[in-house]
Amino acid sequence: MDVLNKNIDRSWIDNCNNPFIISGPCSAESKMQIFNTANGLLKNEGKSYVHAFRAGIWKPRTKPGNFEGIGIEGLKWLREVKKNNGIYIATEVANKEHVKLCINHDVDILWIGARSTTNPFLVQEIADSLVGQNDKIVLVKNPIHPDIELWIGAVERLYKKGIRKIGLIHRGFYTYKSLKYRNQPNWKLVLEIKNIIPEIPILCDPSHICGNRDRLFDISNKSIRYFNCDGLMIESHYDPSKAWSDSNQQITPDILLDFLKSFYSNSNKDYITKNQRDLESFRLLIDELDENIISILSERMNISRKLGIIKKNLDINILQPNRWNIIMKQSINLGKDLGIPEQLLKNIFKLLHQESIKIQNKTMK
Ligand code: PEP
Ligand code: MN
């Protein structure tokens, strides 16, 4: 990792003093949509805020039957945006064909999507097809699930093939039933990966973390101020309500530019020390854990309700002392290895058990 750290080429990101901003629609849809969005972002002083224009050309969709990307035609529109505005263009690649077409169309920034990062075969295929393309910037989105080794593994595969302008994109992690986010930030992993590869640039993608527009700028601010992210990838569309994919999370170019302007004008005033930053970032880690605890509590209560009905059908008592003893014992044992005091677990599980009995009594009636 030391060699990799030493040889990562940060020039593309360090050359711009401010956060590096990639923006543009989730998917390329039509020439009119690409040009309207790009013009909105890059008009007047927009070019000093936005450094790269993005659009998905091939879209990985969870279910078949949705729009799966416009394909090669869209690459021509992107190339025109680059020619007209002199900025980087960026898109997602998921196999060697995509890479080849991107090279042919002068795409500057290629990113590996969250679903592809989970698959070492695909990452290797992409890395192999990039041999000799040392000027390309290649960004690796975090895998869908919080596996930091897989994320680093993808970086290593690219590095071994000679790519040096490598960066990361933090787009959040899938969790079953997240209360607030489309993909939970799991900020802890950002801290961990920065610890392992401190030199690698990291951009935050608040669009795919939030899944809607409500917290986009809150997450953007936090990623840069408290987690030292080097930039953002934010989805924008000239008319988000008409977007063919991720309509709920896209914003208009004007809204993005307003945010970036106020961010820049405040960033000098808002200087914070390392201790202040650590305080805020650790508070966010606690908030996330609390969110998980609440989500798990609600799951537990739902199951208690179902148990009440089953016990009524079986005509057995709600209180089953054997079962209760087993729960208490196994929890204390699990906690012991993790350094959690026995009394704390006893108190917590007593409360949980009392609540569970109350719920079951209610459903039995
Ligand atoms: C995207 O950037 O539009 C995208 C599909 O992202 P992700 O791979 O993070 O889901
Ligand atoms: Mn998207």
pLDDT at 17: 77
pTM of the model: 0.94
pLDDT at 177: 80
| Ligand 1 lining (C-beta closer than 6 Å) | 26, 56, 60, 92, 113-115, 141, 171, 208
94 Cα–ligand 2 center, Å: 15
pLDDT at 10: 97
Nearest CA to ligand 1 atom 2: 26
Q: Which ligand 1 atom is at minimum distance from the Cα of 54?
A: 2
pLDDT at 18: 86
174 Cα–ligand 2 center, Å: 14
In the 8-state DSSP scheme, what is residue 105?
T
Q: Which ligand 1 atom is at minimum distance from the Cα of 233?
A: 2
Neighbours of ion ligand 2 (CB under 5 A): 26, 246
Alpha carbon 319 to its chain centroid, in Å, reads 44
Please give the C-alpha separations between residue 221 and each of 50, 157, 180, 206, 216, in angstroms, as whole numbers: 16, 31, 17, 10, 9
61 Cα–ligand 2 center, Å: 10
233 Cα–ligand 2 center, Å: 10
Segment 8-31, tens digit of pLDDT: 999 999 998 789 999 999 999 999
pLDDT mean over 323-343: 95
Percent of the chain at pLDDT > 70 equals: 99
Element of type H or E holding 55:
none
Please give the C-alpha separations between residue 179 and each of 36, 86, 87, 292, in angstroms, as whole numbers: 35, 41, 38, 8
pLDDT at 211: 97
Neighbours of 206 (CB within 10 A): 27
Segment 164-188, tens digit of pLDDT: 999 999 999 999 888 899 999 999 9
Segment 201-226, tens digit of pLDDT: 999 999 999 999 999 999 999 999 99
Average per-residue pLDDT in the chain? Answer: 96
Nearest CA to ligand 1 atom 9: 114
131 Cα–ligand 2 center, Å: 28
Segment 75-103, tens digit of pLDDT: 999 999 999 999 999 999 999 999 999 99
Q: Of the bound ligands, which one is closest to the alpha carbon of residue 249?
A: 2
